[in-house]
Chains A and B, each alone.
Chain A
Amino acid sequence: MAALSFEGVSYAYPGAARPALAGVDLAIEPGQLVLLVGGSGSGKSTLLRAALGLVPHFHGGELRGRVRVGGLDTREHRPAALARQVGLVFQDPESQLVMGRPDREAAFGLENLGHPAGEIAVRAREALAAVGAAALAGRPAAALSGGEAQRVAIASVLAMGQPILLLDEPTSQLDPVAAEELLGLVVRINRDRGVTVVLAEHRTGRLFAEADRVIAMEDGRLTVDAAPPVAARALAASAPWVLPPVAQAFARAGRPELPLTVRAARSLVAAPPPAAVPAPPPFPAAAGAVKAHKRLGDVDALAGATTAFERGRVTALVGENGAGKTTLARAVCGLLELDRGRIDPVPARAGYVGQDPAHYLLHDTARDEVAYALRNLGVPAPERERRVQGGLARLGLDGLGDRHPRDLSSGERQRLAIAAVAVMEPELLVLDEPTRGVDGLHKLALVELARSLAAGGTAVVVVTHDMDFAAEAADVVTSMAAGRVLSDRAPRTLLASGIFFVSQLGLALGRASQADAAALLRVADRGWRSGADVASPPRPELGPPARLESWATPTPDERPAAAARADGTANG
């Protein structure tokens, strides 16, 4: 019997014009690890909610077809009953912790299911230990970081011992290190405990090759449902942005192989070290800080930071959590007073897009939201309308102008927040973690936006943990630690050679961006054997390389998932 099955399932939220799920047929076997990919609003979250009966029992709306979980029909059983079979971890850690402490959080579900009192404490502790959160047990929930809170959320579901675990973009609020740890944990839970896992995720680099199946969704329908290598081939043509970054680079270069992991990419191409690239010539600074000091609570958030953000450049501001990136960004935008030091130069107009897009939702339509800043600036109505239309279109929101902002998906909200600030055409624009919850396609749009704004003379600063995004968008990289600037305006190739702050392509090929990697791969195909400027790469010992065109007609059994996982290569 399938652990989870959908039979002809269609569903529309109350008042929605179009269905969130449209004719979904799906059966997931016990013990499988399924990766669910697709753009924002494609139906991934709704599918997971339907599996737990939250759709329609919690959200209302009309559900057609049948969803069965462990043999139980979700129409006939409420989520409280289905919770014995299936657990769901949501996107936002802050909105899913109910209790004030992690140990009580882990006990909450067990109490609801009526477990004996003596058993609850033991299982809660074990679950916390299993996710490496035992040390957090007595801490206040409000003091947990995003990564810690998400671990606790997983522990609280794990403690309930359900055979099926669903995760809805669990890493969207996390930095890359925390995300990597969490995804590793999910794989361990599946492999070691035999728990069926269905995970919706934008960051596919870690999990694509590990999954037993990859399911892609678009407009509420399943478009791909296959083993990772087969799915990769299909998606390389239709939606390459959902592939792991290394696979994207190979597809972009027109290479026949599609490695799904860093290791597999390395086995295919022995990349020479990148040539030293100087930082681009300096442009006039739009804003900067000189020996900036700021104390927040008991912490020196800024301890003498000095830097400048140049017009016409995209600067990636990177550093670990607590390095002072956001504090510096807010200070140069005039949103924070320094204790010592100065902001110099002071930007004539600065825009800051913070980490929570919900803070930018003040109006009843997306159009009004974008117009708000222009009204405050006294921009005349005709010009305002023109700039609003342009702002919406630039961020891929042109069809959503009349929608209520709070009806938008998390990725759409993020883009709306950026549009609402960028429309002011500020001299300095700071985007603080702009890729949270944003799918690969719109991440590319963000790269284009940052570049086009910089091309127009804006100083664009992206504060980010997303090294792949930073590598694509940035001209220069400024890294911070302990409130100080460690390296100022380094070339973006820094992101290919770092140890901690390094893109996937940097790890695999020693190149920071997709364009650099694709250029390398094209050269590798043509010139390496000539020995002109690079060493000849060893040929992968994976059988004869398949041609891209031969991937058009894959058969599910031509390459078993387990074998594909072993080498992580979609090589047909």
Chain B
Amino acid sequence: MKPLPAALLTGPPLLAAIAAWSPLWLAAATVGAALLLAAAPPPRRLYAVTAIGSGLVVFAINPFVSVQGLTLLWQGPHIPILDTQVTVEEVAYGAGAGMRVAASALAVAAFVRLADPDLLLRALARVAPRSAMIAALATRMLPALERDAAGIVTAARTRAARMSSPRTAAGLLGPLLASSLERSLGVAEAMEARGYGGPRRTRAPERGMRREEWILTAAGAAALGLVAAALVLGTTDFRYYDTLGDPWRPAAMAGAAALAALLTGAATVVRWPR
């Protein structure tokens, strides 16, 4: 897919995840971004696991590091540093923050998997050639990174490593990074060998936008307009502390439902040609 429709599709859930407070809007952004990622070409699993895992971690941690809210849910034993007095508001805020993190990561992942990295490179090369190349290569190398991760785990298991141990698992991150850097170095060398960095770069002609890309561009623009309007009108606002506000306000429900519907429809169109 061309970068423009991909950016317009994944931009609204990302914007909502960053700027909205309403749990309904955050849920709509999370579901929409997840559907877009699910419709994107594989590999998707690593992105999904990372995004949802990060969200769950934030959700789980917040009640124990936050000291706010008036509605007591659970009183635990005293543990230094941690707040074991868990309130409904802390749990709700944690859920919202978790969805915020997950939706942001899912939206970025969906963009990475949807946007054609070659076209992205070309589009950005005019304004920031080095950054564009790094971004495009990172996109290209992510599937290889996933394969490397699986290979390193298999190799460690066959050498009697206990993968259930967090220390062992964490110890494999360094080699994974080293493999990734090594591969990047190889690609950089291959690029230099093929004349990258020369003084006068030209571009091969590219195809125009397809019909479904125009449809997705329109859907993405509509979703972006919807989120922008909701932010301006304040329908994405929500109060978590000291007590929870009303999440079921009609404007928030309608807006979130519209965003979810637009992104669901777009995900269907993305998947349709395949």
Contact = CB atoms under 8 A, between A and B. Distances in A.
Interface of A: 52, 54, 57-58, 78-81, 83-84, 87-88, 90, 92, 94-101, 104, 107-118, 120-121, 124, 140-142, 156-157, 160, 330, 333, 335, 350-354, 356, 358-362, 372-373, 376-377, 406, 417, 420-421, 424
Name the residue among B162, B192, B195 with the largest chain A CB count within 10 angstroms: B195
Given A111-B204, A114-B202, A376-B159, 12 more contacts: A81-B198, A95-B186, A96-B186, A104-B118, A107-B204, A113-B198, A117-B202, A124-B204, A142-B143, A356-B148, A358-B148, A362-B171
A94 B151 contact: no
Interface string B143-154: 110001001101
Q: 3 closest A-B pairs (Cβ-Cβ)?
A: A95-B186, A112-B195, A83-B195
Interface in B111-163: 116-118, 121, 137, 140, 143-144, 148, 151-152, 154-162
Contact of B204 (A104, A353, A373): A104
Nearest to A423: B159
B182 interface: yes
A111 B203 contact: yes
A362 B118 CA distance: 33
A372 B159 contact: yes
A54 B192 contact: yes
A114 B152 CA distance: 41
Nearest to A429: B158
B192 A90 contact: no
Contacts of B205: 117-118, 120-121
A373 B196 CA distance: 43
Interface residues of B, number: 49
Interface in B14-69: 41
B138 to A, nearest CB: 12
Given A80-B192, A98-B190, A109-B195, A116 B140 contact: no
Contacts of B116: 100
Given A99-B118, A117-B204, A360-B155, A90 B186 contact: yes
A377 B203 CA distance: 56
B187 A352 contact: no
Contact of A421 (B151, B158, B175, B203): B158
A131 to B, nearest CB: 16
B210 interface: no
Name the residue among A117, A156, A377 with the largest chain B CB count within 10 angstroms: A117
A350 B158 contact: yes
25 contacts: A58-B192, A84-B195, A87-B193, A94-B144, A95-B187, A96-B186, A97-B190, A98-B190, A98-B194, A99-B118, A100-B118, A100-B140, A109-B194, A112-B194, A115-B202, A120-B203, A121-B205, A124-B204, A330-B154, A351-B158, A352-B158, A362-B156, A406-B178, A417-B155, A421-B158
A58 B172 CA distance: 29
Contacts of B190: 90, 95-98
A160 B235 CA distance: 57
B245 interface: no
A546 B154 CA distance: 54
A372 to B, nearest CB: 6
Contacts of B118: 99-101, 104
Contacts of B41: 140
B44 to A, nearest CB: 13
Contact of A359 (B155, B162, B203): B155
Given A80-B192, A80-B198, A112-B194, A373 B160 contact: yes
B201 A112 contact: yes
B200 interface: yes
B179 interface: yes
A36 B121 CA distance: 37
B239 interface: no
B178 A361 contact: yes
Nearest to B162: A376
Contact of B179 (A90, A359, A417): A359
Contacts of A92: 186
Contacts of B178: 361, 406
Contacts of A420: 159
A424 B137 contact: no
A335 B121 CA distance: 38
Contacts of A335: 154, 157-158
Contacts of B137: 98
Contacts of A108: 194, 196
A140 B199 CA distance: 29
A87 B194 CA distance: 7
A373 B193 contact: no
Contacts of B158: 333, 335, 350-353, 421
A12 B202 CA distance: 36
A120 B202 contact: yes
Nearest to B179: A358
A115 B200 CA distance: 9
Nearest to B140: A100
Interface in B171-193: 171-172, 174-175, 178-179, 182-183, 186-193
Nearest to A86: B193
B225 interface: no
B197 interface: yes
